[in-house]
Chains A and B, each alone.
Chain A
Amino acid sequence: MADIVIDRIAKEFGSFHALEDVSLTVNDGEFVALLGPSGCGKTTLLRIIAGLEIQTSGRVIIGGRDVSGLAPRKRGLAMVFQNYAVFPHMTVFENVAFGLRMQKADQAEVKRKVQRAAALLHIEDYLDRYPAKLSGGQRQRVAVARALAVEPAVLLMDEPLSNLDALLRLEMRTELKAVLREAGTTTIYVTHDQTEAMGLADRIAVMYGGKIEQVGSPLEIYSKPATRFVGGFIGSPPMNFIKVPCNHGTARVGAFALPCPVMDGEIELGLRGEDAGLTTDGSGIPFDVKVVEPMGSHLLLTGSIGGQVVRIVAPPVANVNAGERVGLKVDPSRLTWIDSRTGRAIART
């Protein structure tokens, strides 16, 4: 087991800055998800940790050892690839045993560890099959078993579930979480799927444009986004941002007044769709409903507040019709205030 320190890593591809001064510490046994849209540099960062890509500057320290210049095989880690990269010319057994064979483990140990990894991932029955005869989900299990069989100090996963269909993904996600908790491996998991990151990770690092925007627990990231990007990227529907003017420490939304953290000037109010409740008497923030979408578990209301598009989540039984104006009540402690110029959240007082 080992912790990972990523120290001011930068990566340039020609004139393109893929990563700019990224620093991140992953504790021993922790599961950290790198979450971000495609092209944000998350896979590049993972490949730099693995040693498959060489950073332009900065250091990677695994378990107190500076591995920045080392070949992948000397870093003591295992990796699960997006396309599984299960070797097609080897049986499942040989695939899972691959890392152990390279470590020159003796035959009995190889057998024992392969059996254990296979049992963990429920692939004991396919051990003498070739990968071509397996489904995508089974291949994925083989890839994970291969990585776990070497009992790595660090496990890196690059969008391991993105090639599976939705149902299988859900199933594998739950299973992965259980398996990895049991293994207790320090894990870095790259994904663009926020539900995967929220569901699996102890902490999430949200990346955008080659930088880490925010690092925190899933709940923290969700309820206290550090930047406008994080608020807009996490959550479905994404956080609403409403531009409001501030006067003498009071923000006005229509006729509704709220205490705000700056004295004067324009500010953005970040509001989660489910943090607004409908008032029965039409008091509160005036909200013009344009579209009502019944989603089963909730109603998704799309409308506007002061001409700005806002999405609100209402209880499934709420009696709201398109074209209506309803009142919203909000809990000031659950609001995020964003500085319009910098896009960063303003610390709540």
Chain B
Amino acid sequence: MTAITTERPQAGKNRSMTLPAARRFLLWTGIVVLLAWVLVPIYFVALGAFGGRLGVFRWPKSIWPSNLAIEPMMQFLTIEGVFNALVNSLIAAGLTVLFSIALGAPAGYALARYTFRGQNAYRLLVLLTRAFPLAILALPLTVSFIRLGLYDTPFGVSLIHTVLALPFAALVTQSLFMGIPREYEEAAWVFGCTRLQAFMRVVLPLALPGLAATAIFAFVISWNEVFAASILTVRERTLTAYLLRILAESPLHYRFAGGFILIIPSVLFIFAVRRYLFAVWGIASK
């Protein structure tokens, strides 16, 4: 989540061209503060992660990296299970993205384009799934997952994460599709498209930026989720769940390394889809 804010200042950069000097100063101050807010903690985590045992405990802390070492990081990565957990996390998050868009986008499309009985109730119900405390469901879920053979698999975890991400996916895509005029689709129909073709050729390309944002949301939700991942797995833990367990008994610089590794995939993922995000915020020319 944090990394999204780091991208935002760039939005201000373009706009500032038209602002007078005083406002520009304020704007840049804001940008610097926001950047610092996000980046300074990440920086210190990184310092801790690469500084080794000594670096972590040195006081006063030096701002500049001294005697950087890759070893703590490598050691961390070679701890038994970390790499496996990282792969599990990526699988679970990837599947969550896939499922929540595959299920959420059609729901959002239906909510946006059709009026049907119980539409508002449905919209509310979708949100209500978030109101259900997962802790109450933990035991029955575990039991049924064991019965179904889903227990201790990234697939099973991704199912629960999809449930968590789905309300957002449905509601975000709904407003996304509402923003695409129906006339575009009608024009496509008139000019020879079936409903599916019209969706693929006209609606989908226009919706991509919003879908990218939805994907980020789903990815981050899954990546950061600990509780369900912890109770539904034993050996095939996701990285967050795994780290939560092992880091409690680890030296401090390992914890920093773990924290740093947790941040990286989200940042990379957001970096990969940033072009679409910018379009959502009206920067890229459509």
Determine the chain B residues whose CB is within 8 A of the CB of A102 once the complex forms: 191-193, 197
B183 partner residues in chain A, CB cutoff 8 A? 81-83, 85
A50 CB contacts on chain B under 8 angstroms: 186, 190
A103 in contact (CB, < 8 A)? yes
- In the assembled complex, A153 has its CB within 8 A of some CB on chain B: no
Q: Is A71 an interface residue (CB 8 A)?
A: yes
Q: Are B192 and A83 in contact (CB under 8 A)?
A: no
Q: Please name all residues of chain A whose beta carbon is closer than 8 Å to the beta carbon of B206 when the two chains form the complex.
A: 88-89
In the bound complex, do residue B191 and residue A83 qualify as a contact, i.e. CB atoms below 8 Å apart? no
Q: In the complex, A52→B182 CA distance in Å?
A: 11
Among A72-80, A254-262, A280-288, the stretch that binds chain B is: A72-80
Would you call B189 and A72 a contact (CB within 8 A)?
Answer: yes
Contact: A87 with B194, CB < 8 Å?
no
Q: Given the complex, which residues of A lie within 8 Å of B191, measured CB to CB?
A: 73, 78, 98-99, 102, 146, 150
Q: Is A130 an interface residue (CB 8 A)?
A: yes
Please classify the interface of chain B as helix (H, G, I), strand (E, B), loop, or mixed, using the class held by over half of its residues. Answer: helix
A-B contact count (CB 8 A): 61
Contact A85 B194 (CB under 8 A): no
Whether B187 and A132, one on each chain, are in contact in the complex, defined by CB atoms closer than 8 angstroms, is: no
* A130 contacts B285, C-beta separation under 8 Å: yes
User: A81 contacts B286, CB within 8 Å?
Assistant: no
Q: Which residues of B contact A88 (CB under 8 A)?
A: 206, 286
Whether B285 and A132, one on each chain, are in contact in the complex, defined by CB atoms closer than 8 angstroms, is yes
User: How far in angstroms is the closest Cβ of chain A from B284?
Assistant: 11
Q: Which of B184, B187, B205 has the most CB of A within 10 A?
A: B187
Q: How far in angstroms is the closest Cβ of chain B from A78?
A: 7
- Residues of A near B188 (CB, < 8 A) are 87, 98
CB < 8 Å neighbour of A85 from B181, B205, B286: B181
CB within 8 Å of B: which residues of A?
50-52, 71-73, 77-79, 81-83, 85, 87-89, 98-99, 102-103, 130, 132, 146, 150
Since A51-B190, A87-B187 are in contact, a sample of 10 more A-B pairs with Cβ atoms closer than 8 Å, ordered by chain A residue number, is: A52-B190, A72-B189, A73-B190, A78-B190, A82-B183, A83-B183, A89-B202, A130-B286, A132-B285, A150-B191
Top-3 shortest CB links A-B: A102-B192, A99-B191, A85-B183
